[in-house]
Amino acid sequence: MALPILVRALRRALVALLLGILFMPRSASAQSIEIDVQAKPLAETLEGLRTRWGIDVVYSDRAVAGVLSTCRYRGDEPADALRCVLASTGLEAERVRRRQFVVRTISEAPPQPSDEESATARLSLSGFVRDASTGELLYGAHVVIPALRVGTATNEAGYFALPSLPDGEYDVRISYIGYEPRNVSLRPGERASTIRLTPIPFESHGVTVEADRSREQGFPPPSGVVQVPVRELERLPSFPGEQDLLHALQWFPGVQKAGEVNGGLVIRGGSPDQNLYLLDGAPVYHPWHAFSLISTFQTETFSDVKLYRGAFPAQHGGRISSVLDAQLKDGNRDGPRATAAIGMLSGRFMIESPISHGTSFMISGRRSYLDKLIGTRHPVEDAAGRRDTLRTDYFFHDLAAKVSFGSTDWHRVSLSHYRGGDQLDLRLPFDLSLDFSSWLRPADLYFEIDQYWTNAVTSMRYQYIYGTRFFSTLTAYRSAYRAREGFVLRPTSDSHLLSSYTVTLEDVGFRWDGQWYFALDHDLLVGVHVVDHLFRSNLDAQIYRSVAAVDSMSQYSRQRAVETAAYAQTSWRPRGNLRVQPGLRLTHFGGGGYLQLSPRLGVQYAPLPDRVMLRAAGGRYDQFMHRLRDRHSFLYDLVSSRWIPTSEDVRPSNSHHVTAGLEVRPHRALILSSDAYWYEGFDVLLPQDDFQLKDGLEGPGIEVAALLGQYTPGDARSYGVEFNARLDHRSWELMASYTGSRSLTRIETDDGFRPGRFDVPRSFRGLVGYSWSGLTVRFSGDIRSGYPHTVPVARYVLGDPLGTPDVYLHRPEINNGRLPPYFHTDLTLQYAFRWGGARWNAQMHLFNLTGRRNVLARQYVPVDGRVDVRDRRGLPTLPLFEIEMRI
């Protein structure tokens, strides 16, 4: 069998990778140092210490010019060796960290240290990194002191700190993808500086970013993390030609939508309900509009987006597959800006502006306009004078706003709010036809659908810096997901049904994070997260089958659980090119009283800075709520996301992740990366009967116990390798990714693992773009294995005591076959121009350029002694457009 061989091969590759990291070449550390110099120029002696004994000494040429040193030393203490070398020179050496020293004159009087600094007599170099054009704080910018080969990255608030530095002027290099790197001279111990990076300008909406690829000694994102500036995400094609973050993220390996254009995100084989979507730290439970056609996340409204495709650090928890952490923009601090656009489905706007010094706001909105085109209320009257009002109302909307206050960067308060949802209200006759005019008449036999689902998220953050070394963030939030499904069906004059089903999930959460930069090579993040979950569902239904036969159902479900987590994660740089991030998360969940300890570990190593970076991460993850759907009845659970908490009867899901990879930059414009991953999930709820689909009005109801009867705990396993190439060179851009992976599941009655619903062994995606004089052409393609499906292996006849024999198809194994390969190409044409004082961007997007109707599902139907194969196919070629204006 190929699978065991594959498993062994992959395990060996992972072991090889981990061993490679563990047994990297070490620098001389415990060597005996021998120095014997007589009146030798000090600069030469110090250089000899560096090259021969591995003692890194930083000094200014001016300080050592003309200075001679005389020393005879034998021992293994670098500090003693330097003391000998510098004796009688008027200079002294101060240790920065292990085997690294700064030389300075003895007479240099250090500035008065603050109380905090006095304990160590060291100073901190700290500051904020901002976008020069908008004032937005930049998360993940690299801050490096090249002379010391030390560096760090800005946190979520754009803050950095390099503590325990001797006093003096330091040349600091700050870089961030998409921005011009900047060299500044900073002195530690002063108040935090603010460094502004200038974005590399768009060239006709094609971006030349090759210069910014060098990250000096900054580490790449940890293994499995997608962290790309929003400006770059905005460029990626998404369906239906409008800004959509979750569509854009599909261009990265391991991320795909469950359906062709709809469905949740499947990330490295995990199911969509195992992903956590965070908006300014608050969860969004149903981040989709239009039946999952587009997401609630508008790319341009975010300042920072980070996707952990598994193996996330200790501050995140509550899901076992992935975390999307998105931060809304604070708003432009330099001046008012506005964006407006209209596309195929919706129109949108964004306005951002400073209010006063240190205060800014951003507000954005989006709304579909189909209802405005076709109308929502249609009064009709027939020849007999009967009147009726038909309804065709559907729209979705988003409103996001954020206000940031803070006259200084030491205190910052931000308040953000998001509200979005969908509303569907239909009243139509049953006998619809393609002749729309035939609809417009009073309907005796009709159906009414009244559905809405909304997310409302309010988040408040307070950030405060104690001294320069302790960064504190308080977050309080409320997130509410509400959905309602209402039906009225009247297929005969005497038969009808009325149903109303509601689902509510409310979270009220409080979170505190403290980041302590306690040494140059250490920082520590600790935090507490408490959230109160409230789950409610209600069903009222009456089915009038005839005048005499009436069924009714009335059920209510309410559960509450408090989730408390404490976590700690340290970032330790034992060497300039090695970072180790161990972490621990302890979670208690009130539903069932579960206490789980989840260790995490991340390692990053840059054997050749700027060229080769290795990374690995792993950990244990827990999920204390499950999303379930009734699999029998059409009356409820059609479009809602129903979550239930764990309890004594329902165990939490947990998973183990290991991921490792490398990033290679053979050229400044080219990044090649590869990651391997392994995921094992336990106690995930899988359908008890895969063949059961909604097929009637009756069902077991919404009681949790009844719902759970349709599911069974199982195991999930995913593993794979991902290759990604990214090239930005002059007017050309290229993205290509290949993923080889498996996603498997197993329930108690299975002999072994079987392909999961979204198992895709091979997937290739590519995008090539060219920009010229305002015009950008992008061609993108996606080819992958077809999804698994169940193929019958035999047919047979079987009877029944109350019926006639029927022909059935034998399906002993689930997902034993595969649909034809999926192949899809798009072409995007963009033209950027200036007109009327505004910048315009017109876009034409040809979805499915080749017109290939991919097979999305396949059905085998026994008919008249033979078996018909019926395919459900994907969308044909669709021209989509959008025009955007920015002022």
Partner 1 sequence: MMASPTRSLIIAFVLGVAVLAGCGTVEPQSEVIVVVEAFPATASSEIDVIVRHSETVWGEMAADNAVDDAEVVLRIDGVEVPALAMGEGQYRATLQDALDAGMAVDATIRWKEQRASASTAMPRMIEIDSVRILPAMRPVEAVLIDSVTIGAPPPETGWLYLVDVAVFWRPDATDNEAFIRAKLAPERSFAGPVVDFFLRSDHIFSEASALQIGDARHWNGVYAVRVEGPDSPLPDHEVAIALLRSGRDYARYASSRFAPDRREPVGNVRGGIGIVSGVAVDSLRVVVTHPEEMR
Site residues (CB under 8 A) for partner 1, limited to 592-651: 607-608, 611-612, 614, 634
State the number of binding residues for partner 1 (CB under 8 A): 96
Q: Residue 591 or residue 720: which is nearer to partner 1 going by CB? A: 720
Note the Cα 388 to chain centre separation in Å. Answer: 48
881: its two tokens: 């457009």
Q: Which stretch binds partner 1 (CB under 8 A): 8-16, 201-209, 528-536, 563-571?
A: 8-16
Q: How many helices (H) and strands (E) does the chain have?
A: 9, 55
Q: Which stretch binds partner 1 (CB under 8 A): 104-112, 113-121, 533-541, 759-767?
A: 759-767
| 105 binding partner 1? (CB under 8 A) | no
What is the helix (H) or strand (E) element at residue 416, kind and residue range?
Answer: strand 411-429
> At a CB cut-off of 8 Å and minimum separation 6, what does 119 contact?
none
| 725 binding partner 1? (CB under 8 A) | no
CB 736 within 8 A of CB 250: no
Q: What is the smallest separation between the CB atom of 528 and partner 1, expressed in angstroms?
A: 38
Q: What is the smallest separation between the CB atom of 141 and partner 1, expressed in angstroms?
A: 27
Q: Which stretch binds partner 1 (CB under 8 A): 10-18, 384-392, 401-409, 534-542?
A: 10-18
226: its two tokens: 């997608």
Q: What is the smallest separation between the CB atom of 784 and partner 1, expressed in angstroms?
A: 11
For partner 1, the binding residue among 374, 528, 867, 887 (CB under 8 A) is 867
| 81 binding partner 1? (CB under 8 A) | no
| 132 binding partner 1? (CB under 8 A) | no
55: its two tokens: 């003692």
Measured CA angle at 323 (ends 318, 327), to 5 deg: 115
| 9 binding partner 1? (CB under 8 A) | yes
For partner 1, the binding residue among 859, 876, 879, 887 (CB under 8 A) is 859
Q: What is the smallest separation between the CB atom of 761 and partner 1, expressed in angstroms?
A: 5
| 383 binding partner 1? (CB under 8 A) | no
| 662 binding partner 1? (CB under 8 A) | yes
CB 80 within 8 A of CB 74: no
Within 448-477, the residues that bind partner 1 by CB under 8 A are none
Helix (H, G, I), strand (E, B) or coil at 214: coil
Shortest CA distance to 515 belongs to which of 158, 130, 144, 118? Answer: 158
Within 11-70, the residues that bind partner 1 by CB under 8 A are 12-13, 16-17, 20, 23-25
Distances (CA, A) of 3 to 6, 140, 755, 761: 5, 39, 12, 12
What is the helix (H) or strand (E) element at residue 707, kind and residue range?
Answer: helix 704-708
Q: What is the smallest separation between the CB atom of 146 and partner 1, expressed in angstroms?
A: 22
Q: What is the smallest separation between the CB atom of 850 and partner 1, expressed in angstroms?
A: 23
Q: Residue 616 or residue 669: which is nearer to partner 1 going by CB? A: 616
| 861 binding partner 1? (CB under 8 A) | yes
Within 184-223, the residues that bind partner 1 by CB under 8 A are none
Shortest CA distance to 625 belongs to which of 596, 585, 654? Answer: 654
Q: Residue 198 or residue 492: which is nearer to partner 1 going by CB? A: 492
816: its two tokens: 């034993």
How far is the C-alpha of 794 from the C-alpha of 259, rounded, in Å? 29
| 857 binding partner 1? (CB under 8 A) | no
Q: What is the smallest separation between the CB atom of 279 and partner 1, expressed in angstroms?
A: 35
Q: What is the smallest separation between the CB atom of 801 and partner 1, expressed in angstroms?
A: 5
For partner 1, the binding residue among 267, 497, 669, 736 (CB under 8 A) is 497
> At a CB cut-off of 8 Å and minimum separation 6, what does 2 contact?
none
Q: Residue 154 or residue 737: which is nearer to partner 1 going by CB? A: 737
How far is the C-alpha of 616 from the C-alpha of 618, rounded, in Å? 7
CB-facing half-sphere around the CA of 593: CA atoms within 13 A: 1
Q: What is the smallest separation between the CB atom of 754 and partner 1, expressed in angstroms?
A: 9
For partner 1, the binding residue among 504, 816, 829, 881 (CB under 8 A) is 816
| 761 binding partner 1? (CB under 8 A) | yes
Q: Which residue has the tokens 């076709």?
A: 374
DSSP string, 8-60: HHHHHHHHHHHHHHHTPPPPP-SPPEEEEEEEEEHHHHHHHHHHHH--EEE--
Helix%, strand%, coil% for the chain, nearest 5: 10, 60, 35
Within 675-704, the residues that bind partner 1 by CB under 8 A are 676, 689, 691-693, 695-697
**E strands, 176-220, in order:** 182-186, 193-197, 202-203, 206-207
Note the Cα 825 to chain centre separation in Å. Answer: 25
| 493 binding partner 1? (CB under 8 A) | yes
For partner 1, the binding residue among 359, 495, 504, 559 (CB under 8 A) is 495
| 709 binding partner 1? (CB under 8 A) | no
How far is the C-alpha of 341 from the C-alpha of 301, rounded, in Å? 13
Q: What is the smallest separation between the CB atom of 151 and partner 1, expressed in angstroms?
A: 21
CB 225 within 8 A of CB 724: no
> At a CB cut-off of 8 Å and minimum separation 6, what does 9 contact?
none
| 795 binding partner 1? (CB under 8 A) | yes
How far is the C-alpha of 548 from the C-alpha of 781, rounded, in Å? 58
Q: What is the smallest separation between the CB atom of 446 and partner 1, expressed in angstroms?
A: 9
Q: Residue 374 or residue 861: which is nearer to partner 1 going by CB? A: 861
Q: What is the smallest separation between the CB atom of 280 and partner 1, expressed in angstroms?
A: 36
CB 128 within 8 A of CB 158: yes
Q: What is the smallest separation between the CB atom of 697 and partner 1, expressed in angstroms?
A: 5
Q: What is the smallest separation between the CB atom of 217 and partner 1, expressed in angstroms?
A: 17
| 723 binding partner 1? (CB under 8 A) | yes
Q: Residue 185 or residue 546: which is nearer to partner 1 going by CB? A: 546
Q: What is the smallest separation between the CB atom of 25 and partner 1, expressed in angstroms?
A: 7
What is the helix (H) or strand (E) element at residue 3, kind and residue range?
Answer: helix 2-22
Q: What is the smallest separation between the CB atom of 852 and partner 1, expressed in angstroms?
A: 19
Q: Residue 751 or residue 800: which is nearer to partner 1 going by CB? A: 800
Site string for partner 1, 528-567 (x = CB under 8 A): ---------------xxxxxxx------------------
The per-residue b/e assignment along 82-117, b for 16 or more CB within 10 angstroms, e otherwise, is bebbbeebebbbbebbebbbbbbeeeeeeeeeeeeb
3-state SS string for 794-824: EEEEEEECCEEEEEEEECCCCCCEECCCEEE
303: its two tokens: 């300042």
For partner 1, the binding residue among 32, 185, 802, 837 (CB under 8 A) is 802
Q: Which stretch binds partner 1 (CB under 8 A): 362-370, 499-507, 702-710, 783-791?
A: 783-791
| 835 binding partner 1? (CB under 8 A) | no
Q: What is the smallest separation between the CB atom of 61 and partner 1, expressed in angstroms?
A: 30
CB-facing half-sphere around the CA of 453: CA atoms within 13 A: 22
Q: Residue 616 or residue 650: which is nearer to partner 1 going by CB? A: 616
For partner 1, the binding residue among 51, 649, 797, 835 (CB under 8 A) is 797
Measured CA angle at 34 (ends 32, 39), to 5 deg: 160
Partners of 661 in the β-ladder: 615, 675
Site string for partner 1, 409-438 (x = CB under 8 A): ---------------------xxxxx----
